[in-house]
Amino acid sequence: MVQFINSLFNGISLSSIILLTSLGLAITFGLMRVINMAHGEFLMIGAYMTYVVQQFFIHYLPESVGDLYYIAAIPFAFGVTYLLGSLLERFVISHLYGREIDSLLATWGISLILQQAARNIFGTQGVNVTAPSFLNGGVTIGKCTFSWNRLFIILMVAVCMFFIWIIMYRSNFGKQMRAVMQNRTMAQCMGINSRKVDNITFSIGSGLAGIAGCSVALLGSIDSTVGQNYIVNSFMAVVLGGVGKLLGTVLGSTIIGSASIFTENYTSSTIAKAIVLLIVILFLQKRPQGLFVIKSRSLDE
């Protein structure tokens, strides 16, 4: 029983990180049909920004506020990746609308450049972020211990989800965004500036990767390949969930996250990941478009 609860908790924790990375992917893929292979690198940038903010606090600010660095790092990481995403959209992605496969390849080129830049700036050795002291330890209920930083990540994902929900379903911008997603030409006819919507959407997606980077920074050392570890699972979560629905992404990430943890109980972690991916691929045999599909009669959807 204890083992089961622990697995469940770890599963939810892993799912929430996958969810945070795949949210951004789902939004950009769903809205703009652009596959952003550099998404993992935005996650890496977010993680490095957390490190930078921490170094700044250590060197320039009194020790008493040292723990607050993490609170400052989240908006900072979001801001930096938002701006980078906006630039990327402006100069690269905007040439690639309607060319899904090419967008995948071009952003891979970008991700090669970003990885090398990270190696040049921060070195090839991984850097570590010390978790703020209020996240040390954990709560113990019965025989199970839940660590604070994993609980904090789950909370953070919940907050992000809430904001995305507000933006997408309760704001004017979200209405425009969904309109463009469902029928781009018609939305343009109605006077929506779809270029602007695209740009902001892509930037938000990248910003989410930055926040995901903050949470990843708590869990282990950061190096230039940290994004690659999460990106395959995130892509699969998006495909499994189905494109264009937030709920699909949530379910997709939860399934992949918890399935990997539960399979891990019976075998090694690498084999577990491989098995889960194979199961997902088999599942896609049954429903090639994922769990949730926006119904459409057009041939190429």
Partner 1 sequence: MKSLKKKGPDICFAMIAAVLACAPLMLNAGILNSSSIVLFLGKCIAFAIVAIGIDLIWGYTGILSLGHGLYFALGGYCMAMYLKLQETGGGITDFMHIGGMTELPLVWRPFNYFPVALILIIAVPGTVAYLIGYFIFRNRVKGVYFSIISQALTWAGYSIFIALSPYTNGNVGITEIKTILGSIKGEAHKQAMFELFYISLAILIVVYAAARFLTSGKFGCLLVAIRDGENRTYFSGYKVSAYKNFIYVVSAVTAGIAGAVFVNFNGSITPSQMTISYSIAMVIWVAIGGRGTIIGAVIGAFLINLCEYNLSSGSMVEIWQYIIGAAFCITILFFKGGIVGIITEQIPAAAEKLKNRKKGTKEALRYGSK
Q: Which residues would be at the binding site for partner 1 (CB under 8 A)?
A: 35, 92, 95-96, 100-102, 104-106, 108-113, 115-117, 119-120, 228, 232, 235-236, 239, 268, 270-271, 273-274, 277-278, 280-282, 284-285, 288, 299-300
Closer to partner 1 by Cβ: residue 176 or 224: 224
Tokens found for residue 159: 């907050």
Which element (helix H / strand E) includes 124? none
**Nearest approach, Cβ of residue 24 and partner 1 (Å):** 15
Cβ 300 to partner 1 shortest distance, Å: 7
Q: Which of 214, 34, 223 is nearest to 115 (CA)?
A: 223
Give the Cα separation of 231 and 94 in Å (integer): 23
Closest CB 49 distance from partner 1, rounded Å: 21
* Nearest residue (CB) to partner 1, 62 versus 288: 288
Looking at the Cβ atoms of 86 and 94, the one nearer to partner 1 is: 94
Nearest distance from residue 32's CB to partner 1, in Å?
Answer: 12
CB of 140 to partner 1, least distance (A): 34
Nearer to partner 1, 95 or 196 (CB): 95
Q: Which of 202, 201, 233 is nearest to 19 (CA)?
A: 233
**Residue of 12, 42, 50 whose CA lies nearest to 24:** 42
Q: What's the number of CA atoms in the CB half-sphere (13 Å) around residue 296?
A: 13
For 5, the token pair is 């609860």
Residue 248's CB: how many other CB atoms inside 10 A?
24
The helix/strand/coil state of 292 is coil
Rounded Cα–Cα distance for residues 301 and 295 (Å): 9
CB of 187 to partner 1, least distance (A): 23
Q: Which residue has the tokens 């930055």?
A: 210
Hey, which bits of 80-157 come out as E strands?
A: 138-141, 144-147
Nearer to partner 1, 132 or 227 (CB): 227
Output the smallest distance, CB 113 to partner 1, in A.
4
Distance CA 42, CA 139 (A): 32
CB closer to partner 1, 204 vs 231: 231
SS3 138: strand
Using the minimum distance from each CB to partner 1, give the nearer residue, 8 or 284. Answer: 284
Instruction: Report helix, strand or coil for 125.
Output: coil
